[in-house]
Structure 1
Amino acid sequence: MSDEPRETVVRATCRALCAHGYANLTMQDIADETDLSKAALHYHYDTKRDLLTTFLDSLASWYEGRLDELPGADAAERLHALFDECLSAEDDEADYPAFHTAMLEVKAQAPYEEAYRERLTAVDDVVRSRIETLIETGIEEGVFRDVDPEATASFVVDVIVGAYTRNVAVGHPLEETRALLDAYVDDHLMAQGREGGEGDPRREAAE
C-alpha cells in the first residue's frame, strides 16, 4: 500500500479506535471510517492486529516529527515545550480523552502481544531519547546541572506515562503533572544562578 492510502487507513484506525475502544473494534469499524470496503482492507491487512501495529508504527513517527523541532532559545525552554507537546489535552485533530482511553486498552494487551509491546516501547524510546538529548545539550550549554541524562530522561517519561494512566483511570488533571514537571526542572535541573535554579535572585526574593 502506498503512503497516501496507508495514511488514510492509519487515521481511520485512530478514529475507529477512539470511537469503539480496543475490545469492540472490528475491521468493519475501520472500513466505515474510510472509502474502502472491508474486503479491500483485508487485501492489505489480515487482521485488526495488523492494522493496529501499522497505527502504532505511525504513532512513533508522529512523535518523532512533533518533537524534532521544538521552539525555545535554549534546552530548558525546549524541554518545557516538549512537556507542552506530551501533556497537552487539546489537539485540533484528536479526541484526546477517547484516544488515551483507547491507548490504555492497547497497552493492557502488550504483555500478551509482542508486536504491540515492541511498538509501544518504540514510542517511549522516541520521547526518552529526545529528552535525554535536550538534557545533554542543556548541560553543555551550562543551563542544566551535571545530572545523569539517561536516568533523568527515563524518570520524566515514567512521569508522563503515569500521568496519562491516572488521567484516564481516575481523572487526575494533566495540568497538575505538567506543573510538577516544570517545578522539577526549576528545582532539580537548572544550574545555579540560572532562571528557576538555586541562586536565581528572583527565586530567592520570592522565598
Structure 2
Amino acid sequence: MIEVRKIVVTVEEVRHDGGPALDTPILKGSVACLVRNPFAGRYEAEITPMMDALKPLGVECARKLLDALGGDPARIEAYGKGSLVGASGELEHGALWHVPGGYAMRELLGQALAIVPSMTKVGPMGASLDVPIHHKDAAYVRSHFDGVTVALADGPRADEILFALAMTTGGRPHARVGGLAKEAIAKWDGQR
C-alpha cells in the first residue's frame, strides 16, 4: 500500500537571527517523503489501515532526520509534523500521518511528553507546508514556538501525499518574550 517516490532531508544551521552570534548554532531539520495516495480521486470510507501501513515509514523518516541532526536524541528539544495532500486527495488522507509520524519521533527521542503539533492541508505541486514546532516535553515552553517550511518543487503530485517531520536542537535563537523556560519545566505532564 505504501509506495514512496522520494525522501528529502534538509538541515538548517542557525548561527543568529539578527542578534549576537550563538555559542552553539541551532539545527533545524525536516524530512519530507512523497507517497502515492491510494485514495486519490475518490472517497473511501475506511482509510485507517493505511495508518498502520505508514508506521515503518514514520520510523524510517524519524531515524533519517535524527541522524542528519547528529544522531543524539538528547540534543533534540522540539518537534512537529505535517502533511501536504495533492489536489486529488482530501485533508483526512494527510491526517493518517498523526500516529505514524508522531509516535515514531517520540519513540526515538525517549522522553518526549508533549503532543506533537501538526499541520495538514491540500495543495498543488510545489506548495509549501509550514510545520509547527514546540518543545518536546512541555508544550508551553514559549521559546520553542517555531516552524519549519517544507516544499518540494516536484510534489506532491495530484495523486501523492507529502508527509513531513521536523526537529530542532533549540528554540528561537534570541527568544526573549517570556513564558515558561525550558529549565523551569516542572510538572512533566507534556504541558508545563
- TM-score range normalised by the length of the shorter chain: 0.3 to 0.5
Q: Which has the higher strand share?
A: 2
Structure with bigger gyration radius: 1
Q: Which has the higher helix share?
A: 1
TM-score, normalization: structure 1? 0.34
TM-score, normalization: structure 2? 0.35
